[in-house]
């Protein structure tokens, strides 16, 4: 089976790093680049998290890492450090000689999709600032993207940073709406609620099983995700949440999807109270759909995919203190 060319656009903390591991190691993935966007944690911490992730997989320097937008289009950046800590559990490594690709992340998105028009998919698992910037810079960008898989919003369900908004759409709602209106032929949305909370959240016992496989990746997973599962449980979420890795997983393994449907999706940008709220209108409302929203996935199969990934032995390129 031919590998799927993909760029991961990420705010590089916790499950974002699991997504990068999946992109590096899944036999169906052809990971072309990593583009970073302001989100979860400080940008410099994101850079460290990205390289540490590549390093633990034994792939340091094997995939270009590009810095994208360091702040939302219009709003002030708001972190999720209260949820994820630094996003890699305090791990550190010698980054001497490790460099970001000098090309801007948005330019990289434009170039990579222009070099292979219609062939490259993008998995966007942070605020959509980079994607929206690419649309604004080049109106032909959307038509060149094979598929855009977005982790964001909630499908008529609860938010996580506010009662009504999911973090990625909340941080840059203007960017999210630009993307919803951009005319991507295959826009697939993986929402926070109800999908992630039901089908991509693993309880503490299951989580502990993923953390005790005796491999560098399993140890790394525990360090990255401990802060987030602690936060999740403190706010009534029963376990470790993995919406980002699910988003890439269903691009690579569409058989994981048990239910999806066409929706018209829009994002609140005017209201303070409901900033970033995703309005996902199903067919009853007779609106022209702009996205496919994933409604259910095979949780056991997804867990098996993650377990197989984390059980894979790797030899980190450089020592990581704390592992």
- Residues near ligand RIB (CB under 6 A): 11, 13, 15-16, 39-40, 80, 125-126, 151, 160, 166-168, 192, 243-244
Region for 80 from its dihedrals, namely left if φ exceeds 0, alpha if ψ lies in -120 to 50, beta otherwise: alpha
As given in the structure block, the two tokens for residue 106 are: 């948005």
Shortest distance in whole angstroms from residue 144 CB to ligand RIB: 24
Within 11-147, strands assigned E span: 29-36, 65-67, 92-93, 121-124
- Coil/strand/helix, residue 237: coil
Identify the residue whose tokens are 């929402």. Answer: 191
Shortest distance in whole angstroms from residue 160 CB to ligand RIB: 5
Q: How far apart are CA 237 and CA 134, in angstroms?
A: 35
Shortest distance in whole angstroms from residue 11 CB to Ca ion: 5
Shortest distance in whole angstroms from residue 2 CB to ligand RIB: 28
Taking every pair of Cα atoms in the chain, the longest distance, rounded to a whole number of angstroms, is 56
Strand partners, 162: none
Per partner kind, with CB cut-offs from 5 to 8 A, the member of ligand RIB, Ca ion, none near residue 80 is ligand RIB
Contact status: 172 vs Ca ion (CB under 5 A): no
Q: Which CB sits closer to Ca ion, 197 or 213?
A: 197
Contact 278/190 with Cβ under 8 angstroms? no
Region for 183 from its dihedrals, namely left if φ exceeds 0, alpha if ψ lies in -120 to 50, beta otherwise: left
Q: How far apart are CA 19 and CA 151, in angstroms?
A: 11
The piece of 7-15, 49-57, 185-193, 219-227 that touches Ca ion (CB under 5 A) is 7-15
Q: Which CB sits closer to ligand RIB, 42 or 119?
A: 42
The piece of 10-18, 85-93, 202-210, 315-323 that touches Ca ion (CB under 5 A) is 10-18
Q: Which CB sits closer to Ca ion, 152 or 316?
A: 152
The piece of 14-22, 61-69, 74-82, 217-225 that touches Ca ion (CB under 5 A) is 14-22
Per partner kind, with CB cut-offs from 5 to 8 A, the member of Ca ion, ligand RIB, none near residue 243 is ligand RIB
Q: How far apart are CA 97 and CA 74, in angstroms?
A: 34
Single residue of 22, 24, 124, 125 touching Ca ion by CB under 5 A: 125
Contact status: 227 vs Ca ion (CB under 5 A): no
User: What would the x/- binding string for Ca ion be over residues 228 to 257, using CB under 5 A?
Assistant: ----------------x-------------
Region for 263 from its dihedrals, namely left if φ exceeds 0, alpha if ψ lies in -120 to 50, beta otherwise: beta
- Coil/strand/helix, residue 253: coil
Q: Which CB sits closer to ligand RIB, 44 or 185?
A: 44
Q: Which CB sits closer to ligand RIB, 34 or 316?
A: 34
Q: How far apart are CA 156 and CA 278, in angstroms?
A: 8
Chain residues in the site for Ca ion (CB under 5 A): 11, 16, 125-126, 244
């Amino acid at each position: 089976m031919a590998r799927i060319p993909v760029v991961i656009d990420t705010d590089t903390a916790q499950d974002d790093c699991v997504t990068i591991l999946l992109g590096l190691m899944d036999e169906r993935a052809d990971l072309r680049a990593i583009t970073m966007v302001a989100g979860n944690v400080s940008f410099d911490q994101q850079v460290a998290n990205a390289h540490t992730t590549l390093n633990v997989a034994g792939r340091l320097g094997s995939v270009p890492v590009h810095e994208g937008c360091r702040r939302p289009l219009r709003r002030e950046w708001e972190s999720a450090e209260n949820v994820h800590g630094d996003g890699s559990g305090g791990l550190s490594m010698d980054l001497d000689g490790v460099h970001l690709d000098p090309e801007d992340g948005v330019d990289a998105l434009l170039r990579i999709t222009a070099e292979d028009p219609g062939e490259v998919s993008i998995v966007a698992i942070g605020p959509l600032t980079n994607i929206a910037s690419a649309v604004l810079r080049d109106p032909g960008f959307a038509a060149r993207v094979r598929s855009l898989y977005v982790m964001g919003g909630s499908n008529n369900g609860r938010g996580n940073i506010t009662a009504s908004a999911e973090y990625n759409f909340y941080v840059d709602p203007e960017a999210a709406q630009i993307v919803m209106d951009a005319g991507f032929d295959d826009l697939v949305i993986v929402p926070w609620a109800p999908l992630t909370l039901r089908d991509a959240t693993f309880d503490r016992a299951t989580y502990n099983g993923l953390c005790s496989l005796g491999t560098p990746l399993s140890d790394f997973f525990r360090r990255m995700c401990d802060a987030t599962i602690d936060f999740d449980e403190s706010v009534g979420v029963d376990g470790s949440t993995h919406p980002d890795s699910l988003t890439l997983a269903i691009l690579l393994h569409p058989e994981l999807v048990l239910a999806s449907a066409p929706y018209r999706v829009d994002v609140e940008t005017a209201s303070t109270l409901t900033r970033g709220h995703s309005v996902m209108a199903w067919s009853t409302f007779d609106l022209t759909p702009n996205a496919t929203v994933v409604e259910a996935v095979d949780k056991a199969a997804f867990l098996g995919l993650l377990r197989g990934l984390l059980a894979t032995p790797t030899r980190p390129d450089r020592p990581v203190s704390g592992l």
